[in-house]
Structure 1
Amino acid sequence: MVRTMRGIFSSLILLGAIVAGGPAFSQATAVGQHRDWGTYSYQSDSGKVCYVMSVPKAKEPASLDHGDIFFFVSQKPGQNVAFEPQFIAAYDLQEGSKVTVTVGGKSFTMFTQGKSAWLENAAEEPQLLAAMKAGTDMKIAAKSGRGNDTGYTFSLLGLTAALESIQSCK
């Protein structure tokens, strides 16, 4: 339950900030750009939040309007959250569905809540991040609330430098 609540809270802050242009996002500071990954920070009630973010290079099927799609890795020292991966779609994901993240030959399963997804097993976060740092691209497979199978390809170029830039987030 703690994992689910933490994820829901994270999603509400980030999604509300992005979609609604809320205070956190509008006050977010761009820290830097590392190839295909941007780094940002903002001050929340619980302390500073730092994150790296990228958008997909490819969206499938091309015939669908996917809207804005993001992959985040967040650092929230005030909430004891370190390097938490999160996928955010512009649409509701199918209730009870899973999102699959594939990097190289390794796959990871994410649970969904609304427009967001987090690793089903939080203990796998370091393994996913290690695979991302070693990889060149990452594939995401999801199912929309309307039942459409969707796929996204994210470049991993610049991820390691981006993560290093938020290492000392305080």
Structure 2
Amino acid sequence: MIRSASLAIAMLVAATAVPAQAQSARVLGDFRDWSSYAADDGTGTVCFAMSRPKSTEPAGAAGGDAYVYVSNRPAEDVTAEFNVVAGYTFQTGSMASVTIGGQSFPLFTQGDAAWLDDSGQAANLAAAIRAGSTLVVTGTSANGTQVTQSYSLSGATAAQQAVGAEC
């Protein structure tokens, strides 16, 4: 279920990058370094807040589009689901992590994506995102390189509020 939902969101995110297809996802707002969207994925409305990394180390390690998003899917009773699309393929069987301030959350990986290893931590991670200033995702690429991506959390609270109001 997680893979199909994140695939739908990834397609919606890709659609927002292509102006001719932008009607598939509705912009709820742009909030500094974060944006919020809503769309119908066929099972109901999906809303998500997303951001792109401010930096990736080592430089050039992420060859594709990278972003994090927090999504709500009311039809599936899902709130504050965190997902990473790294822009590179994770090493098979590896774990990644997301760190905000002093809090670290383990992520399981598959392909170029990662999710919370313990979905019961979703509310805690969402709260850390609202309270923090920088989010850091650390993972290991398929070739064994440790990759660190840093995201600004400026605007994350407003973006999550817009998602909550819509979904």
TM over 0.5: yes
| 1:33 and 2:30 correspond | yes
Unaligned runs of 5+ in 1: 1-5
Contact 1:17–1:26 under 8 Å retained in 2:
no
| 1:45 and 2:20 correspond | no
Matching residue of 2:9 = 14
Q: CA RMSD in A?
A: 2.1
1:28: Cα distance to partner? 0.6
Q: 2:165 is paired with a residue of what secondary structure?
A: coil
Matching residue of 1:60 = 57
Contact 1:18–1:25 under 8 Å retained in 2:
no
Matching residue of 2:115 = 118
Q: 2:88 is paired with a residue of what secondary structure?
A: coil
Contact 1:50–1:166 under 8 Å retained in 2:
yes
- The residue type equivalent to 1:9 in the other structure is S
- The residue type equivalent to 2:56 in the other structure is K
1:16: Cα distance to partner? 3.8
Amino-acid identity (%):
35
CA 1:65 to 1:111, structure 2 compared with 1: closer, same or farther past 3 Å?
A: closer
Count of residues in Structure 1 that have an aligned counterpart in Structure 2:
165
1:145 pairs, out of 129, 142, 153, with 142
- The residue type equivalent to 1:77 in the other structure is P
Q: 1:166 is paired with a residue of what secondary structure?
A: helix
Q: Where in structure 1 do 4 or more consecutive aligned residues deviate above 2 Å?
A: 14-22, 63-67
- The residue type equivalent to 2:95 in the other structure is K
1:66: Cα distance to partner? 3.1
Contact 1:59–1:151 under 8 Å retained in 2:
yes
Contact 2:27–2:37 under 8 Å retained in 1:
yes
- The residue type equivalent to 2:76 in the other structure is Q
- Distance in 2 of aligned mates of 1:14 and 1:147: 28
- Distance in 2 of aligned mates of 1:63 and 1:35: 24
Contact 1:59–1:153 under 8 Å retained in 2:
yes
Q: TM-score, normalised by structure 1?
A: 0.88
Unaligned runs of 5+ in 2: none
- Distance in 2 of aligned mates of 1:33 and 1:16: 19
Q: 2:160 is paired with a residue of what secondary structure?
A: helix
- Distance in 2 of aligned mates of 1:11 and 1:25: 18
